[in-house]
Structure 1
Amino acid sequence: MNLILLAPHDLQDDHHAVVRDPRRLRHLLDVHHAKVGDELTLGVAGGKLGRGRLTHLDAEQALFRIDRLDQPPPAALPVHLVLALPRPRMLARSLEHVTALGVKHITLLHTRRVEKSYWQSPELRPEKIHQHLVLGLEQARDTRLPEVDLETRFKPFVEDRLPGLLEERRGLLAHPGMPHACPRGIDEPALLIIGPEGGFIPYEVERLLQAGCEGIHLGERILRVETAVTALLSRLF
């Protein structure tokens, strides 16, 4: 946790904040080994970053005096990530990784090779998704939460929503065997679409290409979804 991310209800006034949830308290006590008087990086969810001094810490609460909140969060990546819903454990890690990298728009999509049982996972509960997003923000010292949409049907997504998403974005379909290597260092808004373990089926690839996406690949190696996501975002931006 490289940032103490404060929710609006943590703020007592413009200069004081209190943290009471067990996760952040455990991290302050057991990982930071924080002590009264320590200066730490603070940020307000959706707002700015700054510094604050710890004025009290025990197992029940931590009190901070906010010295300043005057720094903007890191710039977001100009990308909307469409990710075929991974298996639950991989979903948790993927959400944290892409949030730390600066993705602000995420769509989780159902495809043929996504097991229907994945959509019943507790990891898709709003509070669990929020938890993973917050962990990503804390890692990267960011304050702006991504938006996460769930698309449980492939065909309606491609026919009804995808055309609008592609109006002002370059559509990139990452899939093994596509004709073009993943571009490097692009400077335009993009829609990046990544399939599930086992990839998209031919019908899905055809529909995505017909919709206006450009097929790209990362080479001959077949990567796990969480590895491919990180590699693609790093190479693109």
Structure 2
Amino acid sequence: MNLIILEQNDFVDSDRVRLHGRRHQHIQQVHRANPGDQLRVGLLNGRIGTGEIVSLQSDSVELKVNLQAAPPAALPLTLILALPRPKMLKRVIQHVTALGVKKLYLINAYRVEKSYWQTPWLAEDRLREQCLLGLEQAVDTRMPHIELRKRFKPFVEDELPEIAAGTEKLVAHPVTARPCPVDTPYPTTLVVGPEGGLIPYEIEKLQAAGFSAVHLGPRILRVETVLPVLLGRLFPVR
């Protein structure tokens, strides 16, 4: 936990918060903090700063907070991702959140197993939990917006054109001639398929919607590997 995320209902005064549960345990057991120590804190969807411990009890901790810095800039990216395996989903949500993705659509595809959509990890509170872990890791406070779309064709035909309007439109596909751009100056909409890849029909539908297929070379990578590679290539740290 590189950042302690605060929420509005944590405030007991204009500049004081009282924390319980996981955050209290982390401060006590991992930071091993004491009254007078300062920790890095941030208000969810707000500013980042410091919190000085003024009281540490067995079941709660109270901090005086000073929030003065803006969170990191979001990536100028909308990520369209075929729903990963449930075991991988948690890690993927944490990773893309830590990398700065703020607009994420989880979609269906031919090679997405129907059972994946039954996982309890798609519940709103479970997705939120994984996003919070990603924000804590990256020292960010802006919560991503996640949408679920269970029908590929209606999404691509009816919604995607408006979602991707005014952006560079890319779909990751290993069997194509064009390499993925490096350090793109444009806002981007990126489609990434499932483990087995998108089928030709799906690529054709995306190309009809204005998307260009791009590759990362001859290696076939897992989704959890390819995402940081793609995002690091498109938007390298400056």
Q: Aligning the two structures, in what range does the TM-score lie when normalised by the shorter sequence?
A: over 0.9
TM-score where L is the length of structure 2: 0.96
Q: Which one-letter code corresponds to 2:233 in the other structure?
A: R
Unaligned stretches of 5+ residues in structure 2 = none
Deviation at 1:189, TM superposition (A): 0.6
**1:127 aligns with one of 125, 128, 134:** 125
State the secondary structure of the residue aligned to 2:141: coil
Moved more, 80-89 or 162-171: 162-171
Q: Which one-letter code corresponds to 2:119 in the other structure?
A: S
Counterparts of 1:202 and 1:219, CA distance in 2: 19
Unaligned stretches of 5+ residues in structure 1 = none
Q: Which one-letter code corresponds to 2:63 in the other structure?
A: F
CA contact (8 A) 1:97 1:136 kept: yes
Counterparts of 2:103 and 2:36, CA distance in 1: 38
**1:235 aligns with one of 219, 233, 236:** 233
**2:155 aligns with one of 154, 157, 164:** 157
- Counterparts of 1:54-73 in structure 2 under 5 Å? 54-66=53-65, 68-73=66-71
Q: Aligned pairs, how many?
A: 235
2:25 pairs with 1:40: no
Moved more, 170-179 or 75-84: 170-179
Q: What is the match of residue 189 of structure 2?
A: 191
Counterparts of 2:57 and 2:88, CA distance in 1: 34
Q: Which one-letter code corresponds to 1:120 in the other structure?
A: Q
Q: Which one-letter code corresponds to 2:80 in the other structure?
A: V
Counterparts of 1:59 and 1:139, CA distance in 2: 25
CA contact (8 A) 1:166 1:212 kept: no
Q: Which one-letter code corresponds to 1:102 in the other structure?
A: G
Query: Is the alpha carbon distance of 1:223 and 1:57 closer, same or farther for their aligned partners in structure 2, counting shifts above 3 Å?
Result: same
Counterparts of 1:220 and 1:65, CA distance in 2: 53
CA contact (8 A) 1:10 1:17 kept: yes
Moved more, 90-99 or 57-66: 57-66
Counterparts of 1:210 and 1:47, CA distance in 2: 39
Counterparts of 1:234 and 1:26, CA distance in 2: 34
State the secondary structure of the residue aligned to 1:33: coil
CA contact (8 A) 1:169 1:191 kept: yes
Q: What is the match of residue 224 of structure 1?
A: 222
Task: Describe the superposition over 1:88-123 as per-residue Cα deviations: whole angstroms up to 9, x where unpaired.
Answer: 121110110111111100000000100111111011
**1:78 aligns with one of 68, 76, 79:** 76
Deviation at 1:13, TM superposition (A): 2.0
Counterparts of 1:219 and 1:59, CA distance in 2: 54
2:14 pairs with 1:14: yes
Counterparts of 1:217 and 1:31, CA distance in 2: 42
CA RMSD of aligned residues (A): 0.9
Q: Which one-letter code corresponds to 1:156 in the other structure?
A: P
Deviation at 1:59, TM superposition (A): 3.7
Task: Describe the superposition over 1:7-54 as per-residue Cα deviations: whole angstroms up to 9, x where unpaired.
Answer: 11011122100111x221222122212222110111101110111101
Counterparts of 2:200 and 2:16, CA distance in 1: 56
Q: Which one-letter code corresponds to 2:219 in the other structure?
A: R
Counterparts of 1:172 and 1:148, CA distance in 2: 19
Q: Which one-letter code corresponds to 1:7 in the other structure?
A: E
Deviation at 1:210, TM superposition (A): 1.2
CA contact (8 A) 1:86 1:197 kept: yes
CA contact (8 A) 1:105 1:148 kept: yes
Counterparts of 1:59 and 1:99, CA distance in 2: 32
Q: Which one-letter code corresponds to 1:5 in the other structure?
A: I
Counterparts of 1:139 and 1:188, CA distance in 2: 27
Counterparts of 2:150 and 2:56, CA distance in 1: 44
